[in-house]
Structure 1
Amino acid sequence: MECDRCGGDAVMHAAYSGAHLCERHFRESVEKRVRRRIRRDDLVPGDASPEDPETWVIGLSGGKDSVVLTQILHDTFAEDPRIELVGLTIHEGIEGYRDESVAACLELADDLGIRHELASYEEEFGIRMDDVVEDDPENMAACAYCGVFRRDLLSRYAAELEADLLLTGHNLDDEAQTALMNFLEGDLGQIAKHFDASLGPLSERNEQDEFVPRAKPLRDVPEKEVALYAHLADLPAHITECPHASEAYRGEIQQLLYDLEENHPGTRHSILSGYEELAAMVADQYGDDGDESRELRECAECGATTTREICRKCSLLESLEAV
């Protein structure tokens, strides 16, 4: 195959667009999509200045997605004094697996010369995911526990670091899967919450002072293209599945989307585009209705912002302590 732009050897073919690209033009294509998303979502405010730079905290796990996102953001803003990047890594307490990915994070942060922070479940909550999986008082998948604890630490540390934005490496496949799951489950509350948290232009979101706004600049890039970019750029990504990964339903949705994309290229893009439009309407409707279940209050245990009397994190920790 020849590259459509220069005639060189192509390294990839995107069925959804028909494009054949060589290494240089492929990498440029990924970078262009990330930067376009940054512009579309108004992530860089018009009043940003070197005197009062924006602090962007990146959820840096060491996996391909977060590593690629960090590299592209660094390349984009390395010479821009208005933006300061900070990598934030969460150690869940998974023997072997997370130790290797933390090493990848440290290597990347050192290579790029950006600030890096490390938090752990053990230091913050007194737990390790290896033990949580063994005890499992709620009879849930490991990912359900881990997701709650990780979100809490990302949000808390972002606030403590006085972040203006919290960025995560969710790619197109991740977002299309989440969109389809929320729709199939009829979960309008989650759709509204998803939109408020990280979809659409930052200037048009329902911003609330209690939360650091989130962004997902990789969400237009398919997972396989993120992996290829990491490989071609020789980035220190730790590409190994978590030993406790067990999201069976998401796995089914993932396979369904693989099959649909194979037979109907562009399906993921269409799902995400339609979902963003639908989510905006749902979020607007929920806001107009003043749904009491979404009213924010302080957790009686830790003071975190929540819609419950006791936040989900604290209720899970109480269950674990009772084992």
Structure 2
Amino acid sequence: MECNRCDAEAVMHAAYSGAHLCADHFRESVEKRVRRRVRRDDLVPREATPENPQTWVIGLSGGKDSVVLTRILHETFAEDPRIELIGLTIHEGIEGYRDASLEACVELAADLGIRHEVVSYEAEFGVRMDDVVEDDPENMAACAYCGVFRRDVLSRYAAEFGADLLLTGHNLDDEAQTALMNFLEGDVAQMAKHFDASLGPLSERRDQEAFVPRAKPLRDVPEKEVALYAHLEELPVHMAECPHSSEAYRGEIQQLLYGLEENHPGTRHSILSGYEELASIVAQRYEDDDGERADLRECVECGATTTRDRCRKCSLLASLG
């Protein structure tokens, strides 16, 4: 099959758009969608200048999503003195897994010439995920512990580095799954929190003073296209799956979406589009008279912004002893 835009052989077919694209036009398509999302979400403010640059921290895990995001952002802003990129890698303490992906992060950062920082759960919390999984005092999935710790480390270090923005490599599949899970669970509060944290233009977000704003420029790109981009660009990517990964419910949602997308191309895009609009409306429900989240407070132990007296991180660490 030929590319729709030239005579070269197509390397992919996007059923949701009907497009057949060669390698060059496919790469161009992915990069265009990421840059369009950067513009739509107002990620580069008007006040950003070479004299007043923006610092963007990227959660760099070494997986395909974060590696592709880092590469595209670097290509986009390499000659732009208004933007400084910092890669932040978290070592969870998983034997034989994170060490390999850390090598990919180090290689990518060196190739691109960007600042790269590494922090660990062991240094931050005195725990390793291998031990947490073995103890499991809360009787829950490893991802539940790890997600809480990861969000805390990313947020704290983004603030410590003076970041104006914290970026993560969530793709279209990730976001569509999250949207569907929140809806099926009836979790209205989480919808509002999701919008305030990382969806929509920065100008429409609430509580920007409480957190370093987050952004997900890859969220218009399907997971398989991210993987193909990494392959075509021969990027240093660690493809192994975490040995403790066990998000059973998300896995069911993932398989459901695979089937819907195959039978009804464009389903993921429709879910995310509708969810963003709905989440924006829901977020207004939790505003006070000043337009800020009325349920936010400081954790009594660590001072982190939370919706409860003791934040989830401190609660989990207490149960871990």
Q: TM-score scaled by structure 2?
A: 0.98
Within a 5 Å distance, the mapping from 1:124-273 to structure 2 comes to 124-273=124-273
Instruction: Report the AA paired with residue 105 of structure 1.
Output: C
> How many residues are aligned here?
321
- How far apart, CA to CA, are the structure 2 residues paired with 1:288 and 1:225? 41
- How far apart, CA to CA, are the structure 1 residues paired with 2:260 and 2:41? 28
- How far apart, CA to CA, are the structure 1 residues paired with 2:292 and 2:107? 46
The answer to whether the 8 A contact 2:55-2:162 is kept is yes
1:297, CA displacement in angstroms? 1.8
1:253, CA displacement in angstroms? 0.1
Q: Which residue of 1 aligns with 2:299?
A: 299
RMSD of aligned residue pairs (Cα, Å):
1.4
Instruction: Report the AA paired with residue 84 of structure 2.
Output: E
Q: After superposition, what is the alpha-carbon deviation per residue over 1:247-298, rounded to whole angstroms, capped at 9, x for unaligned? A: 0000000000000000000000000000001001100122259999952222
1:31, CA displacement in angstroms? 0.1
Q: After superposition, what is the alpha-carbon deviation per residue over 1:68-105, rounded to whole angstroms, capped at 9, x for unaligned? A: 00000000000000000000000000011100001100
> The residue matched to 1:183 in structure 2 has which SS?
helix
Q: Which residue of 2 aligns with 1:20?
A: 20
> The residue matched to 1:5 in structure 2 has which SS?
coil
- How far apart, CA to CA, are the structure 2 residues paired with 1:50 and 1:38? 19
- How far apart, CA to CA, are the structure 2 residues paired with 1:292 and 1:317? 29
Instruction: Report the AA paired with residue 88 of structure 2.
Output: L
Q: Which residue of 2 aligns with 1:278?
A: 278
Which deviates more, 215-224 or 276-285?
A: 276-285
> The residue matched to 1:210 in structure 2 has which SS?
coil
> The residue matched to 1:259 in structure 2 has which SS?
helix
Which deviates more, 14-23 or 206-215?
A: 206-215
- How far apart, CA to CA, are the structure 1 residues paired with 2:7 and 2:48? 41
Q: Which residue of 2 aligns with 1:319?
A: 319
Q: After superposition, what is the alpha-carbon deviation per residue over 1:174-229, rounded to whole angstroms, capped at 9, x for unaligned? A: 00000000000000000000000011101121133120000000000000000000
Identity, in percent, stands at 83
> The residue matched to 2:301 in structure 1 has which SS?
coil
> The residue matched to 2:155 in structure 1 has which SS?
helix
Q: Which residue of 1 aligns with 2:91?
A: 91
Q: Unaligned stretches of 5+ in structure 2?
A: none
> The residue matched to 2:287 in structure 1 has which SS?
helix
Instruction: Report the AA paired with residue 297 of structure 1.
Output: R
- How far apart, CA to CA, are the structure 2 residues paired with 1:59 and 1:283? 25
> The residue matched to 2:57 in structure 1 has which SS?
strand
- How far apart, CA to CA, are the structure 2 residues paired with 1:141 and 1:294? 30
The answer to whether the 8 A contact 1:294-1:307 is kept is no
Instruction: Report the AA paired with residue 88 of structure 1.
Output: L
- How far apart, CA to CA, are the structure 2 residues paired with 1:7 and 1:292? 54
- How far apart, CA to CA, are the structure 1 residues paired with 2:146 and 2:18? 38
- How far apart, CA to CA, are the structure 1 residues paired with 2:234 and 2:171? 19
Q: Which residue of 1 aligns with 2:80?
A: 80
Change (3 A) 1:72 1:22: same
Q: After superposition, what is the alpha-carbon deviation per residue over 1:2-39, rounded to whole angstroms, capped at 9, x for unaligned? A: 00001101000000000000000000000000000000
Instruction: Report the AA paired with residue 71 of structure 2.
Output: Q
- How far apart, CA to CA, are the structure 2 residues paired with 1:94 and 1:290? 44
The answer to whether the 8 A contact 1:64-1:239 is kept is yes
Instruction: Report the AA paired with residue 300 of structure 1.
Output: V
- How far apart, CA to CA, are the structure 2 residues paired with 1:319 and 1:198? 29
The answer to whether the 8 A contact 2:59-2:154 is kept is yes
- How far apart, CA to CA, are the structure 2 residues paired with 1:173 and 1:229? 16
| TM superposition outliers: structure 1 runs of 4+ over 3 Å | 288-294
> The residue matched to 2:93 in structure 1 has which SS?
coil
Q: Which residue of 2 aligns with 1:32?
A: 32
The answer to whether the 8 A contact 2:207-2:292 is kept is no
> The residue matched to 2:252 in structure 1 has which SS?
helix
Q: Unaligned stretches of 5+ in structure 1?
A: none
- How far apart, CA to CA, are the structure 2 residues paired with 1:272 and 1:293? 23
- How far apart, CA to CA, are the structure 1 residues paired with 2:232 and 2:294? 44
Instruction: Report the AA paired with residue 14 of structure 2.
Output: A
The answer to whether the 8 A contact 2:206-2:291 is kept is no
- How far apart, CA to CA, are the structure 1 residues paired with 2:28 and 2:194? 29
